């Protein structure tokens, strides 16, 4: 087994957190996997893994080596793909907000993966701007333009937002006609992972965007929790319109202040600037554009 294959073994051990499971997935004896890790640690003169009776976890050095191995394996696979047939293969790591994934990506994934059966898609959920190189992520999908990023940005669509509340909430609090009528109203606030503070409601008025802070009945970090809290009458929320369509159609939520809606927010795919676009990322980005195009 050469060093490149040893890197593949190490990557699988880190990702499965188990010598046995990694051996099974690679079709190797567990003793072979253990020997590979021992040789690698001896050659590097560092401890890569902390081993217990229940789990295997990378050390700090092991985590750094794992990222290096991922980058090396990816680059070799991409180089080979450039000189081989048109089959897209390998692992693609994408980080996307869970609500976007469930609404836009998952309905089309069976057909996409059937077209590319040798592609392994790893989908993680988040709303922070991850360090793609350090964390081994190929692409992130985010709502809004990052304040400072040297990543390449591909615009997928723009999403309009709406302010809504439950019928019962408006029976108690009244229906605001302008943002100035929001005195006495309360909201269910979404906690921004970027700023660490609850997000204010935003509106467009007189050609300018204004924000309106409201006292929060509840502060949440999950989009689904925020939506369910609004259904239960806990306050106003502002959310992408696509996420509210079913509730608005069923009458569970009612839109207000539609004439003061802010400008739509861009949805971007972001990926590293300093590396050649891999075949698997290229086909994924092209497919991603078709998934978001109806919303643009």
Total Cβ atoms within 10 A of residue 193: 11
Domain range enclosing 58: 1-84
Euclidean distance between the first and the last CA atom of the chain, given in angstroms as a whole number: 49
- Do 91 and 80 fall into the same domain? no
pTM value is 0.68
**Is the pLDDT assigned to residue 129 strictly greater than 70?**
no
Residues 144-169 pLDDT 10s: 877 656 788 899 999 999 999 999 99
- Do 151 and 268 fall into the same domain? yes
Which two three-digit tokens encode residue 104?
């836009």
- Do 283 and 151 fall into the same domain? yes
Which two three-digit tokens encode residue 223?
């989009």
Q: At residue 89, what are phi and psi to the nearest 5 degrees? A: -140, 165
State the average pLDDT over residues 224-231. 96
Residue 17 is predicted with a pLDDT of 85
- Do 155 and 268 fall into the same domain? yes
Residue 155: name the closest of 263, 253, 254, 296 by CA: 296
State the average pLDDT over residues 11-33. 86
**Is the pLDDT assigned to residue 67 strictly greater than 90?**
no
Asked if 261 and 164 count as a contact pair (C-beta separation under 8 A), the reply is no
Residues 239-257 pLDDT 10s: 999 999 999 999 999 999 9
- Do 7 and 80 fall into the same domain? yes
Burial of 249 (0-12, 13-18, 19+ CB in 10 A): exposed
C-alpha–C-alpha distance, residues 19 and 73, integer Å: 20
Residues 181-193 pLDDT 10s: 999 999 999 988 7
Asked if 289 and 108 count as a contact pair (C-beta separation under 8 A), the reply is no
More reliable by pLDDT, 238 or 145: 238
- CATH code of the domain in which 29 resides: 1.10.10.10
What is the residue-wise DSSP string for 164-201? EE-HHHHHHH---SSGGGGTT--EEEEBPTTTSSBPPE
> 């994408």: which residue's tokens?
94
3-state secondary structure 34-75: HHHHHHHHHHHCCCCEEECCCCEEECHHHHHHHHHHHHHHHH
- Do 237 and 168 fall into the same domain? yes
For the chain, the domain total comes to: 3
- CATH code of the domain in which 199 resides: 3.40.190.10
State the average pLDDT over residues 6-29. 86
229 DSSP β-pair partners: none
In percent, the amount of the chain with pLDDT more than 90 equals 53
Residues 80-112 pLDDT 10s: 766 665 678 888 889 898 889 999 999 999 999
- Mean of all residue pLDDT scores within the chain: 87
């Amino acid at each position: 087994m050469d060093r490149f294959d040893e890197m593949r073994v190490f990557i699988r051990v880190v990702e499965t957190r188990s010598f046995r499971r990694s051996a099974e997935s690679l079709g190797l004896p567990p003793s072979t996997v253990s020997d590979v890790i021992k040789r690698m640690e001896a050659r590097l003169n560092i401890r890569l893994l902390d081993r217990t009776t229940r789990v295997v976890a990378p050390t700090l050095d092991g985590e750094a080596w794992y990222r290096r191995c991922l980058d090396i394996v990816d680059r070799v696979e991409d180089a080979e793909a450039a000189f081989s047939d048109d089959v897209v293969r390998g692992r693609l790591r994408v980080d996307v907000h869970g609500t976007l994934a469930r609404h836009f990506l998952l309905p089309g994934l069976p057909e996409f993966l059937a077209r590319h059966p040798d592609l392994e898609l790893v989908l993680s959920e988040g709303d922070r701007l991850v360090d793609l190189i350090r964390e081994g992520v190929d692409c992130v999908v985010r709502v809004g333009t990052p304040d400072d990023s040297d990543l390449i940005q591909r615009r997928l669509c723009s999403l309009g937002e709406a302010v809504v509340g439950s019928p019962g909430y408006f029976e108690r609090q009244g229906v605001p006609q302008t943002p100035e009528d929001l005195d006495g109203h309360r909201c269910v606030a979404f906690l921004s992972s970027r700023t660490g503070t609850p997000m204010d409601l935003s509106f467009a008025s007189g050609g300018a965007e204004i924000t309106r802070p409201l006292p929060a009945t509840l502060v949440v970090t999950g989009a689904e929790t925020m939506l369910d809290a609004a259904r239960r009458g806990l306050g106003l929320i502002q959310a992408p319109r696509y996420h509210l369509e079913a509730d608005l159609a069923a009458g569970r939520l009612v839109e207000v202040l539609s004439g003061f809606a802010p400008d739509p927010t861009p949805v971007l795919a972001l990926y590293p600037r300093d590396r050649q676009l891999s075949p698997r990322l290229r086909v994924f980005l092209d497919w991603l554009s078709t998934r978001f195009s109806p919303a643009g």
